[in-house]
A and B are shown apart, each in its own frame.
Chain A
Amino acid sequence: MDIFLQQIINGIVLGSVYALVALGYTMVYGILGLINFAHGEVVMIGAMVALAVINALSGTALPGPVIVLLGLMVAMPTCMALGYGIERIAYRPLRHAPRLAALITAIGVSIVLQNSAMIIWGRQYITFPPLLPSKPHFVAGAAISDLQIFIVLLAALIMVGLLFLVHRTRLGRAMRATAQNAEVAGLMGVNINTIISITFIVGSALAAVAGLMVSGYYGLAHYYMGFSLGLKAFTAAVLGGIGNLGGAMLGGLLLGIIESLGAGYIGQLTGGFLGSNYQDVFAFFVLILVLVFRPSGLLGERIAERA
């Protein structure tokens, strides 16, 4: 089996999920200048809610894909409501407070969500029942499953939809205007609070999809999963240039590929000293490199606005 091709495929799948989560970070950052550290936990809640529904229905006669879809249809509105609520309750009262206050609040929200999930679903891993076909296809010596193909296609579709929303609709125009100058956008008649709410709701909907994807892909979910996933997606957003939608997509894919290749080759590179369980190291190594050498990210060059 061709390790290189296999790891590229795995990386693209993983990267698609990172990209969906990274978009949530970058959209909120673009509009509020806030790093919503609770976003990873929204992904976790999405996975947990979807799995709760899926496990409840998995004994019934419904076909597997329908059950998974029902799980998503419950998880998505739940996350959207959660995202809206987080902004409304935790961030809006701090809109004019120093940035550090909002950042600490984001960490606080994240702890609250994590602990709530632990109380509701317990500390154990929750497994994803085998509802989806997992027979792999072989392409040039590398295996790829239907689920993997589906994840990549769905993520691509969602990203195209998001780009269309942001760049081709009146709402998207208002979002971009608000991101650049909220006060002036308000003078144009844009209700800034509505735009901010919509941004959180859209980002959280993507988080729900990503949560389901990642739990389906790894076959499990856990109350703690949002932390490292969130941190990696944040890294992806910074890598691409935070605040930039295309950057989040590119950063997500690149990070997924770097991580997979790293995990695939780390054993060989270190003569067996480090194993693939060190795969998380790569994301943070990338984060450090980006912060040192290109803090604005790959696509994050800001056009200086003339006075």
Chain B
Amino acid sequence: MNLLEVRDLKVSYGGINAVKGIDLDVGEGELVALIGSNGAGKSTTLKAICGLLLHVGGEVRYQGNSIKRLPSYQLVRRGMALIPEGRGIFGRLTVEENLEMGAYCRASYKNELEHVYGLFPRLKERRVQTAGTLSGGEQQMLAIGRGLMSRPKLLLLDEPSMGLAPLMVSKIFETILSIAREGVTLLLVEQNAKLALEACHKAYVMDGGLIILSGPARELLGNPRVREAYLGE
């Protein structure tokens, strides 16, 4: 059984159909990418899955149960975490308070905190600093760390490479791979198609609110259409 199943998902805002009926499957333990150009509907899809949008058609099932009508605050209790686009850190809270917010639904989170600090020693150095004073890369580490604090089964990542220097992007991707190796299922939305396809098992290509291609990431990397449209060849 798939951990996450999306069927005929449709989203419209103010008369514009941003997502026009897509199907998506994320199996347990998989690392799945959703790629496409700016405005293709990728982030909207993630937000709709997380219950952040109104006027959503179709069906979203997590662990076999529909979560479409579930308010977003109940998802994390079921093991689903979203790391939002633009990171969404709490700039006036300290680094550690941000991480504690990630563990809001957990009774104790000492081990998780140690785990995140082990993954990102930089965050430990800056634990009492307000998060707004961190660099963009550090903020992305914080956003990922905060997402891990709830011990999610399924982690949804929205554009983790956005606005980061190449060195930081590769560090973030290394971390994503190590999270996947620990058994966390990941759905990654990414504009950087090459990186995403090299990292993931499976990928969906989105354009104009529709999935236009899908399959094993390796195959898509070799697909001439993908190479031309998304890899700039």
Chain A residues within CB distance 8 Å of chain B: 170, 173-174, 176-177, 180-181, 183-192, 303-307
Judging by beta carbons under 8 Å apart, are B72 and A187 in contact? yes
A306 to B86, CA, bound (A): 9
A177 to B91, CA, bound (A): 9
Whether A176 contacts B92 in the complex (CB less than 8 A), given A187-B84, A191-B73, A307-B86, comes out as yes
Judging by beta carbons under 8 Å apart, are A180 and B101 in contact? no
A189 to B132, CA, bound (A): 22
Of all chain B residues, the one with the shortest Cβ separation from A302 is B92
Sorting the interface of chain B by its residue count into under 10, 10 to 19, 20 to 34 or 35 or more gives 20 to 34
Minimum Cβ distance to chain A for residue B88 (Å)? 4
> What residues of chain A lie closer than 8 Å to B74, measured between beta carbons?
189
B81 at the interface (CB under 8 A from A): yes
Which of these, B77, B88, B91, B105, contacts A303 with CB under 8 Å? Answer: B91
A101 to B71, CA, bound (A): 25
Minimum Cβ distance to chain B for residue A29 (Å)? 15
Judging by beta carbons under 8 Å apart, are B73 and A192 in contact? yes
> What residues of chain A lie closer than 8 Å to B71, measured between beta carbons?
186, 191
Judging by beta carbons under 8 Å apart, are B84 and A177 in contact? no
Judging by beta carbons under 8 Å apart, are A183 and B88 in contact? yes
> What residues of chain B lie closer than 8 Å to A189, measured between beta carbons?
73-77, 104-105, 150
Of all chain B residues, the one with the shortest Cβ separation from A184 is B88
A186 to B80, CA, bound (A): 12
Minimum Cβ distance to chain B for residue A178 (Å)? 9
> What residues of chain B lie closer than 8 Å to A305, measured between beta carbons?
91-92, 132
Judging by beta carbons under 8 Å apart, are A173 and B97 in contact? yes
21 contacts across the A-B interface (CB closer than 8 A) = A170-B104, A173-B93, A173-B100, A176-B97, A177-B90, A177-B93, A180-B93, A186-B52, A187-B52, A187-B88, A188-B146, A188-B150, A189-B73, A189-B75, A189-B104, A190-B104, A303-B132, A304-B132, A305-B132, A306-B139, A307-B136
* Those 4 A-B pairs whose CB atoms lie nearest each other, nearest first: A305-B91, A184-B88, A189-B105, A189-B76
Minimum Cβ distance to chain A for residue B90 (Å)? 5
